[in-house]
Structure 1
Amino acid sequence: MRRTTLRSLAGIAALTTLALTGCGTQQGLADDSPAAAGPAERTITAKRLARLTQPHEQTGMTLLEGPLLDAKGRLLVVDVTAPAGEPKMIRVDVRTGKGTPFHTDERGAYTSAQYSPHDGRIYLTDYAHGEIVSLAPGGGDRQVFFTGKVDGAAMHPDDLAFDRSGNLYVSDSRGLSEGTAEGRVVRISRDGKKATVLADKLAATNGISFDAEYRGLWFSELTENRISYLRLDDQGEVTSRHTAIRVDGGLAQTDSIAVDADGNLYQGLHGRAAMAVYDRHGARLATVEVPARHRGLESATNVAITPGGTRAYLTVSGPAGGYVYTFDALAEGIRQSNGG
């Protein structure tokens, strides 16, 4: 059997159709900027909570993503590469680390999960099939929320964020396999009837999150290792866009993004079992690391921080399997650090 490698995913927390079938420091700020005067970077060592998956025989790998805490404090994660019939979503008891199947189907390759503030359902991005689907809060009742082309081009939805009204903002990671700048940020109305491209010509758009005040969107571009900021008006229209942070990742690439109550950014790294933490001005505050002795882990894709608390749950994967690690975040969790 032909094994799928992480390289075949080109470093994103997503699974291409071919894969399903087998086939440091921030730069660019002046020395007198707020970032240069910020606190020194520190290292936070994450602790292992649970091993939830092992590489699947059919796909040759496992990749956990989309950590999401429900109203009872239980954790949900998606396994991007889970084959048909195996759990594509897993519920985790955060006290014991025990995982139980939550949802499976014959089709989805889910790369993110988040509750909608509009209808309370769980929304999932299906990267391989260009769809966004939703589930009932307790699982089941799978519905296709959005599918089809946007401005004449099919989507590869990776991560998502909701505004306060329940409209969706999606990182469309087009152009990944070709290595071309065809990625987009797409806004989808909460009824799924209207899709608008807010930004295009991006390099494999991946993570996306509103800032703490909902004034704009942070989004990462995987193949450029940069985080950009998209300022929005009250109607969700773009008023400005700029490159905000350049991530010195070495072999690692920028994955998903979460934001805490203080506005700090938690940037997942694909290709390294670590997460970089920045303040809103671009200062590198911390690096969350998995202990070096925990071998066979190559990617720390995303994090969920307990709403109103600082307990954080990090999804980590590699040849050793799919794991959840925990650490204390720098500030309390909010909607922007719970799924997406």
Structure 2
Amino acid sequence: MRRLRNRSLAVLATLGALALTGCGSETYTPGGTAESSASGRTVTAREFMRLTSVHEETGMTLLEGPVFGADGQLNVVDVTAPAGGPKVLRVDVRKKTVRKLFTDSRGAYTSAQFSPYDGRLYLTDISHGEIVSLAPDGSDRRAFFTGEVDGARMQPDDIAFDPDGHLYVSDALGMSEGQARGRVVRVDRDGAHATVLADGLAATNGISFDVDYRGLWISELTENRISYLPVEQRPGMAGRHTAVRVDGGVAQTDSIAVDADGNLYQALHGRPAMAVYSRYGERLATVEVPARTEGLESATNVAITPGGTKAYMTVSGPAGGYLYSFDALAKGIRQSNGG
């Protein structure tokens, strides 16, 4: 299996072994000016800090799910952290310090987001088909949802919350078999009932509401496309449709975020970069690390400071797990903070 061919396959294979289970030529730098070109621009992200090194036990480190808490600190998950290692890290971005917030003996957590209903931090465990929640300080782990949905156990990857606190989950079901069986699942905020909203997706990965909470942007890893799924049905509105086809080359579509102007930030697994699109599918920019940076292979997600434009991108590879920062195209909102 080629190195990091597929994020979840690599995670599952590693944990199983442990018995755990181009856009254009314009250049832009934060705080600087951009050189115009007809083909767009490149936003250069700058190294902010290293959070992790490759774990000897798993042979990997893979950061995901950056989300700001009410205290202004950034929470990040490490998907491949071994048992007892820091599986959720808390970063003080003002002091540039990091500490362990949470660990356990088995979880492979691929996303994190705070609920607007109960204020708890929710994590998806892709290896065990479970969604768990923590108190904001990392204590009081609770199993929120597990079990089958319409006869199949989920492989939950990312989360989006609606304003009432109901969860919308990207279910990567079928990924390990190479089958388009992925789903979008809605779970009531009390965890008592789950409904499949869409199926037949190709390794469902990123998920985020649009600005008005009328629909969901969904990235499909093995098809390199972003689909749009209306959740607020209106007269004349069609169902799910392909919204953007991402020209990623060897890279694949990972998590997705949305800023206050409705722009989409599509992370790329297999390249330390993000593609930025307008809500109408226009390629606006590519965010990438500086040229000749070595040992970084994937950018998985981004958190834009709520109410501000400073963005923090999770980037990982043999060199370790890093945060890179850049100026987003618009301000951060809930849809650009976690998932």
TM-score by length of 1: 0.91
Contact 2:9 2:176 in 1 (8 A): no
Higher relative contact order (CA 8 A, sep 6+): 1
The residue number in structure 2 matching 1:22 is 17
Q: Which of 7, 12, 28 pairs up with 1:11?
A: 7
Alignment-mate amino acid for residue 331 of structure 1: A
Asked if 1:331 is matched to 2:327, the reply is no
Contact 1:209 1:218 in 2 (8 A): yes
Correspondence 1:1-340 to 2 at 5 A: 5-7=3-5, 10-12=6-8, 15-16=11-12, 18-22=13-17, 24=22, 41-233=40-232, 240-340=239-339
Give the % identical residues. 70
Alignment-mate amino acid for residue 275 of structure 1: M
Alignment-mate amino acid for residue 61 of structure 2: T
Contact 1:5 1:61 in 2 (8 A): no
Deviation at 1:198, TM superposition (A): 0.5
1:278-335 superposed Cα distances (whole Å, 9 cap, x missing partner) = 0000000000010123200000000000110000000000011000000000000000
Cα distance in 2 for residues equivalent to 1:13 and 1:143? 26
Deviation at 1:6, TM superposition (A): 1.8
Contact 2:4 2:10 in 1 (8 A): no
Cα distance in 1 for residues equivalent to 2:285 and 2:95? 28
1:40-77 superposed Cα distances (whole Å, 9 cap, x missing partner) = 52100001111111111111100000001112221110
Deviation at 1:178, TM superposition (A): 1.1
Structure 1, gaps ≥5 residues long: 26-38
| Deviation larger for 221-230 or 238-247 | 238-247
Corresponding residue SS for 2:335: helix
| Deviation larger for 242-251 or 52-61 | 52-61
Cα distance in 2 for residues equivalent to 1:170 and 1:131? 11
Contact 1:53 1:323 in 2 (8 A): yes
Deviation at 1:4, TM superposition (A): 10
Cα distance in 2 for residues equivalent to 1:97 and 1:6? 29
Structure 2, gaps ≥5 residues long: 24-37
RMSD of aligned residue pairs (Cα, Å) = 1.9
Alignment-mate amino acid for residue 21 of structure 1: G
The residue number in structure 1 matching 2:35 is none
Corresponding residue SS for 1:240: coil
Deviation at 1:96, TM superposition (A): 3.3
| Deviation larger for 325-334 or 170-179 | 170-179
Contact 1:4 1:61 in 2 (8 A): no
Corresponding residue SS for 1:336: helix
